[in-house]
Amino acid sequence: MSHSAFTHDLFDDDAASDYTPRAARARKAPPRRKLTEYSEGEQVLGSVTMTYQPARYEEVWLKSSLRDFFTQQYITDVLAQVKGGKEASVYRCAAAPHMGVEWLAAKVYRPRMFRNLRNDAMYREGRAILTSAGSAAKKTDHRLMRAIGKKTEFGMQASHTSWLMYEFVTLQTLFAAGANVPQPIAAGENAILMGYRGDGSRAAPTLSEITLDDDEAPRLFDEVLRNIALLLGIGYIHGDLSAYNILYWEGEVTLIDFPQVTAAAENPNAAFILRRDITRVCDYFAHYGVRRDPAQLTAELWREYVGEEDFAQLP
Ligand SMILES: Nc1ncnc2c1ncn2[C@@H]1O[C@H](COP(=O)(O)OP(=O)(O)OP(=O)(O)O)[C@@H](O)[C@H]1O
Ligand SMILES: [Mg+2]
């Protein structure tokens, strides 16, 4: 999606409000807290010059989302937008000198109020709510559970935080287990900061954007499978795995985009979701002569990591 389409889309509600009669506009005014947050972002970062020049509406959101990464001295500049999308935009940032790398990637989630959470009910089943500390909220926290069910402001914020923290915590666990994922650095209210794949002129392409050499395909396929197994080993399934969420850089693959991870043992759709992930990966690699049976691979992995019985229920 082009940059301008992203900014327009991102703030379409704002744009629409320009045409709303004054009385209606007053009723639709966002809660005060948010305005304060934004203006604090302006104050703290007003003096920061970003090499990347965001559009006016994108700027406030971007700055408030990345503010903590600047003040905690992880990054010193935003250099470019890598990709703007429906759910999130990713930016290449200059890492602070002590970070030991030149760049970091900031994934900034689309503002909660303008975002349709990816049809997420299927993934959330059997998944605890994660707090901003990355720990599971208690199911006995009735106030929280009720707020989420009723989609109150507080409940929506909690769902948003949980969605983002699943991505961050999964990256942490996978990275520690030796998976091919970006190194997670920090999580904020609307953004995560992680290792960047690519260089100063371009970010790593996704597998969907490139043509592999036939001779490297089998090794890369095995790598992807190794990562699927590592994730299953910690109890989760990616849930949106395909050539669109695997980066390729210098002969290596990197799996990305984890907010929808699915609990393998607790989610009744888990076997279906796992088979879908594996089928998409097999379909991609089949173009390069890697012929593997996705149903059989799914069954093997399921038996090894989750258990035989549940798999029999796969439709
Ligand atoms: N660590 C990274 N290094 C380099 N590029 C990255 C990194 N993480 C993500 N990207 C780029 O940003 C894009 C979007 O990231 P991601 O897949 O995590 O978000 P998304 O939720 O799919 O966003 P959308 O659905 O809006 O496209 C990726 O396709 C990739 O091109
Ligand atoms: Mg993606």
Residue whose CB lies within 8 A of the most ligand 1 atoms, among 81, 86, 90, 202, for a mutation test: 90
Q: Report the b/e string of 87-106 with b at 16+ CB within 10 A.
A: ebbbbbbbbbeebeeebbbb
Residue that is last in its domain, among 171, 195, 219: 195
Domain match, 139 and 42 both: yes
Nearest ligand, CA 247: 1
pLDDT digits (tens, 9 = 90+) for 1-17: 333 333 333 333 333 33
Domain assignment of residue 48, given as a range: 3-195
Domain match, 105 and 18 both: yes
Whether the per-residue pLDDT at 312 is higher than 60: the answer is no
CA of 1 to the centre of ligand 2 (A): 13
Domain match, 253 and 167 both: no
CA of 255 to the centre of ligand 2 (A): 10
pLDDT of residue 199: 98
CA dist., res. 43 & res. 62, Å (int): 13
pLDDT digits (tens, 9 = 90+) for 67-102: 999 999 999 999 999 998 778 999 999 999 999 999
Q: How confident is the model at residue 111 (pLDDT cuts 50, 70, 90)?
A: confident
Inside any domain, residue 200: no
- Angle, vertex CA 186, rays to CA 171 and CA 151, nearest 5: 80
Domain match, 167 and 215 both: no
Number of domains into which the chain is organized: 2
Q: Which amino acids bring their CB within 6 angstroms of ligand 1?
A: 82-83, 85-88, 90, 105, 107, 182, 194-198, 203-204, 206, 245, 256-257
- What's the Cα-to-Cα distance from 34 to each of 59, 85, 132, 147, rounded to whole Å? 15, 23, 18, 19
Whether the per-residue pLDDT at 55 is higher than 70: the answer is yes
CA of 40 to the centre of ligand 2 (A): 30
Nearest ligand, CA 116: 1
pLDDT of residue 44: 53
Residue that is last in its domain, among 195, 219, 242: 195
Residue that is last in its domain, among 195, 228, 244: 195
pLDDT digits (tens, 9 = 90+) for 123-176: 888 899 999 999 999 989 999 999 988 988 888 889 889 999 999 999 999 999
CA dist., res. 277 & res. 84, Å (int): 24
Residue whose CB lies within 8 A of the most ligand 1 atoms, among 82, 118, 120, 208, for a mutation test: 82
Nearest ligand, CA 88: 1
CA dist., res. 132 & res. 208, Å (int): 33
Q: Tell me the average pLDDT of the chain.
A: 85
pLDDT digits (tens, 9 = 90+) for 187-242: 999 999 999 999 999 999 999 999 999 899 999 999 999 999 999 999 999 999 99
* CA 55, chain centre distance (Å): 22
Residue of 207, 263, 257 lying closest to 234 (CA atoms): 263
CATH number reported for the structural domain that contains residue 229 in this entry: 1.10.510.10
Q: Provide the residue count of the chain.
A: 315
Domain match, 177 and 211 both: no
